[in-house]
Amino acid sequence: MEKVVALTKRRGFIYPSSEIYGGLSGFYDFGPYGVALKRAIRDLWWRHMVDLRDDVVGLESTLIMPSEVWAASGHLTNFVDPLRQCLGECKKRWRADHVTGDRCPECGGPLDEARMFNLMFKTHVGPIEDTASEVYLRPETAQGMFVDFKNVLNSSRVRVPFGIAQQGKAFRNEITPGNFVFRVREFELMEMEFFVKPDSDDEWFNYWRKERMRWYTEVLGIKPDRLRMYDHPKASLSHYSKQTTDIEYEFPFGWGELEGVADRTDFDLRVHQEKSKVDLSYLDPETNERYLPWVIEPAVSLERIFITLLLDAYDEDIVNNEPRVVLRLHPNVAPVQVAVVPLSKKPELIGPAQEVMKSLRGEFRVEYDQTGGNIGRRYRRQDEIGTPFCVTIDFETLTDQAVTIRQRDSTEQERIEIKQLARRLGELVS
């Protein structure tokens, strides 16, 4: 973990937020390569959850929602963690289930009795700060999809079974954020609520468990032996859940949740129907039956996929008797898919190299690298940010109109004509 964290800052993936002012615990900024990796993950998720399916539509709901939403959903009473505070020198706060005994893990001071702490960020709308103006930053995107369920039904041609997908920021006032971006206070969720007939939830629950696991191994290229499914026992289920499976990854700190797939029953539609007094039932056009659909929810934090990919891809090996650090990222998610590298800074190579770069831009995520250092050093830099392919323009290019493709993982090189380059790279990337 320490090596990956150091790499993310050194190479422009992640920076501590507001670092020049000492930072803010649980908040991070994403640099140029971090933004590119996040966008690749985000786009792939949307493509496979929405674009390639005919039974899922998209939604973008607000970050701030009224307190009535969270009262109905149970978040005001159930979205809590037990908190204990050090009464000694450090005054730190700890999640009660993360400490043993009555002494502070930091300074050894006494801990007070556990009390429940709501994880939602509260604010106010309007000029007067009173209980009537209280609102909350959403801790999940799911409730927006439930309160807009009727609008989606009335404005589109969806029929049960169907899903509503959403990507966007969420906020949780974690007592003890940690393990880098695994547990933070501001993060991006990618969730989908899949509405099904009440008696078909088991079938769809099993379908989405398998489909999400397949996505991680086949589309993102995560090592299957570092993934597993964990089925929650009844005693640990959330208040809305009939059954929940976590897709877990073997992190350096142990097995941890990557994504959760939950059978939320009809809990959310039912409580919002009761609280709002608006009929949220679905009229089946085939059977003329009216019912509240049940919901299967695959939900994941983009940041957890982000750190999982980096940890899974990180490697060290020896090339030409020199050690190198390499991120063996799948080409689908690599921040840079192709680096165009002129052999030298001589003017006769710069023009052809830039033409090659322009011909590839739009089809691939391309970077042009003519920075200082020999070609080997530039290859090492690209290896470290996970670039799967480097295209080298050399002096022979001027006569044979060909370039060299160098592969990150094997370091093997292939000579190919420029006019065939895009086609060949497309084969390699896919």
179 and 235 both lie in a single domain: yes
244 and 285 both lie in a single domain: yes
Phi first, then psi: what are they for 296, rounded to 5°?
-105, 130
pLDDT band at 116 (very low <50, low <70, confident <90, very high): confident
- Stretch 399-407: mean pLDDT: 97
207 and 297 both lie in a single domain: yes
Nearby residues of 1 by Cβ (< 8 Å), 6 or more positions away: 179, 180, 251, 252, 253, 311
The DSSP-derived string for 296-339 is: EEEEEEHHHHHHHHHHHHEEEEEETTEEEEEE---TTT-S-SEE
Asked whether the beta carbons of 79 and 118 are under 8 A apart, the reply is yes
User: Is a pLDDT exceeding 90 seen at residue 92?
Assistant: no
Q: What is the pLDDT of residue 253?
A: 94
The rounded distance, in Å, linking the Cα atoms of 244 and 197 is 18
Which residue type, as a one-letter code, is found at position 253?
A: F
Asked whether the beta carbons of 217 and 228 are under 8 A apart, the reply is no
241 and 350 both lie in a single domain: no
Averaged confidence pLDDT in the chain:
94
Nearby residues of 300 by Cβ (< 8 Å), 6 or more positions away: 45, 189, 190, 191, 258, 259, 260
Tens digits of per-residue pLDDT, 248-275? 999 999 999 999 999 999 999 999 999 9
Task: Write the burial class of residue 234 (CB in 10 Å: 0-12 exposed, 13-18 middle, 19+ buried).
Answer: exposed
Phi first, then psi: what are they for 251, rounded to 5°?
-75, 165
Q: What is the pLDDT of residue 175?
A: 85
Q: What is the pLDDT of residue 128?
A: 84
Q: What is the pTM of this model?
A: 0.92
Return the higher-pLDDT residue of 372 and 174: 174
pLDDT band at 38 (very low <50, low <70, confident <90, very high): very high
What's the token pair of residue 312?
Answer: 């899974």
Nearby residues of 276 by Cβ (< 8 Å), 6 or more positions away: 68, 72, 147
Tens digits of per-residue pLDDT, 149-199? 999 999 998 999 999 999 999 999 988 888 999 999 999 999 999 999 999
The DSSP-derived string for 162-177 is: EEEEEEEEEE---SS-
Nearby residues of 271 by Cβ (< 8 Å), 6 or more positions away: 72, 73, 74
Number of domains composing the chain: 2
Q: What is the pLDDT of residue 372?
A: 66
Residue 103 lies in a domain: no
Give me Rg for the CA atoms of the chain.
Answer: 25
User: Is a pLDDT exceeding 70 seen at residue 79?
Assistant: yes
221 and 364 both lie in a single domain: no
353 and 212 both lie in a single domain: no
The rounded distance, in Å, linking the Cα atoms of 84 and 351 is 64
Residue 321 lies in a domain: no
Residues of the domain holding 382: 336-429
User: Is a pLDDT exceeding 70 seen at residue 102?
Assistant: yes
262 and 377 both lie in a single domain: no
Residue 131 lies in a domain: no
Residue 36 lies in a domain: yes
166 and 269 both lie in a single domain: yes
The rounded distance, in Å, linking the Cα atoms of 97 and 156 is 45
51 and 11 both lie in a single domain: yes
pLDDT band at 371 (very low <50, low <70, confident <90, very high): confident
Nearby residues of 204 by Cβ (< 8 Å), 6 or more positions away: 161, 194, 196, 296
Q: What is the pLDDT of residue 176?
A: 82
296 and 353 both lie in a single domain: no
Asked whether the beta carbons of 298 and 208 are under 8 A apart, the reply is yes
172 and 45 both lie in a single domain: yes
